[in-house]
């Protein structure tokens, strides 16, 4: 099998820096974790908050701390620093090779979609962002790694897309229509969701948007780990 992970990420229109931070870290006991945070507001302030949260979480995960405990620690640190005045959402998606599961840790009101074949489930239990109070519990979901599994996680920029014009995005329906058509790679799915949101915002995203897709395939091939990153730059230093 192969776990494939893809991310597509854009910043709010006319703001050079996305307030969303996403990083990937190797787990000390095997596998990896993707950590995504969306700091309140946008621009540099939001970036500083989401970077602080992600940094705290990946530091703890790298030491072997469990995902839920890392999320609670980041929440306490943020609450201590900002006294509840600044909050941040957090999603951790861990491929845990010890247990053979994907562990989803969520402090984000935005739902998570989980598709297995034709069936698409939506995790939308109440989930509270970090830094809101002293006792923030993450929502934790554990799913067996099996071929055909697709998981879609995103920040609220996707939920808000089009709302300005009264045309909110139906994320579940969009995922369903893309999955029906083909057997898309996770990058195709992430790109398509982001493109739909940006188009609903008339190419001027009203908020930072990040989309993270995990897919498990039955591919048996070489034993090579691969990663690629594409960073558009506007050459403003020139």
- Nearest distance from residue 158's CB to its own copies, in Å? 13
For its own copies, which residue of 83, 125, 134, 230 counts as binding (CB under 8 A)? 230
Place of tokens 């970090």: 130
* Half-sphere CA count of 87, side-chain side, radius 13 A: 14
**24 secondary structure, DSSP code:** E
119 is an interface residue for its own copies by CB under 8 A? no
Rounded to a whole number of angstroms, the minimum distance from the CB of residue 224 to its own copies is 5
Among 118-126, 127-135, 156-164, 218-226, the segment contacting its own copies (CB under 8 A): 218-226
**Sole binder of its own copies in the list 40, 45, 51, 140 (CB under 8 A):** 51
Q: Tell me which DSSP letter residue 12 carries.
A: P
Q: Does 77 bind its own copies (CB under 8 A)?
A: no
For helices 171-181 and 186-200, what crossing angle results, to 10°?
Answer: 140
**In which element (H, E) is residue 55 found?**
helix 43-62
Nearest CB to its own copies, comparing residues 118 and 234? 234
Stretch that binds its own copies, among 27-35, 113-121, 124-132, 176-184 (CB under 8 A): 27-35
Q: Is 179 in the site for its own copies (CB under 8 A)?
A: no
For its own copies, which residue of 19, 32, 91, 131 counts as binding (CB under 8 A)?
32
Scanning 81-89, 108-116, 120-128, 229-237 for contacts with its own copies by CB under 8 A, the matching segment is 229-237
CA distance 94 to 141: 11
Closest approach of Cβ 212 to its own copies, in Å? 9
Q: Which of 25, 46, 169, 206 binds its own copies (CB under 8 A)?
A: 25
Question: Distance between CA 136 and CA 80 in Å, rounded?
Answer: 13
Considering the complex, what minimum distance in angstroms separates the CB of residue 58 from its own copies?
8
Q: Draw the binding track, 93-112, toward its own copies (x: CB under 8 A; -: no contact).
A: --x-xxxx------------
Query: Could you say which residues in the range 128-157 bind its own copies, by CB under 8 A?
Result: 145
Cα end-to-end span (Å), the chain? 45
CA–CA distance, 24 with 196 (Å, rounded to integer): 25
Contacts of 149 (CB under 8 A, 6+ apart): 102, 114, 115, 116, 143, 214, 215, 216
Residue 20, CA distances (Å) to 16, 27, 65, 155 in order: 12, 22, 23, 8
Among 129, 131, 162, 186, binds its own copies (CB under 8 A): 186
């Amino acid at each position: 099998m192969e776990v494939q992970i893809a991310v597509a990420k854009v910043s709010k229109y006319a703001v050079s820096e996305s307030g969303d931070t996403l990083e990937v870290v190797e787990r000390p006991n095997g596998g990896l974790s993707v950590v995504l945070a969306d700091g309140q507001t946008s621009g540099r302030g939001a970036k500083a908050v989401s970077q602080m949260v992600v940094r705290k979480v990946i530091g703890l995960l790298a030491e072997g701390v469990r995902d839920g405990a890392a999320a609670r620690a980041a929440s306490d640190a943020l609450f201590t620093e900002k006294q509840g005045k600044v909050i941040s959402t957090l999603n951790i998606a861990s491929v845990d090779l010890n247990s053979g599961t994907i562990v989803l840790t969520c402090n984000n009101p935005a739902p998570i979609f989980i598709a297995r074949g034709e069936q698409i489930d939506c995790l939308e239990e109440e989930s509270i962002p970090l830094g809101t109070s002293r006792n923030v519990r993450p929502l934790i979901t554990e799913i067996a790694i099996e071929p055909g599994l697709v998981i879609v996680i995103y920040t609220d920029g996707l939920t808000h897309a089009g709302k300005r014009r009264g045309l909110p995005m139906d994320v579940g329906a969009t995922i369903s229509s893309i999955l029906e058509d083909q057997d898309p790679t996770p990058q195709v799915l992430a790109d398509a969701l982001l493109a739909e949101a940006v188009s609903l915002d008339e190419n001027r995203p009203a908020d930072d948007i990040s989309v993270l897709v995990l897919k498990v395939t039955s591919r048996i091939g070489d034993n090579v780990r691969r990663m690629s990153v594409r960073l558009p730059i506007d050459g403003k230093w020139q």
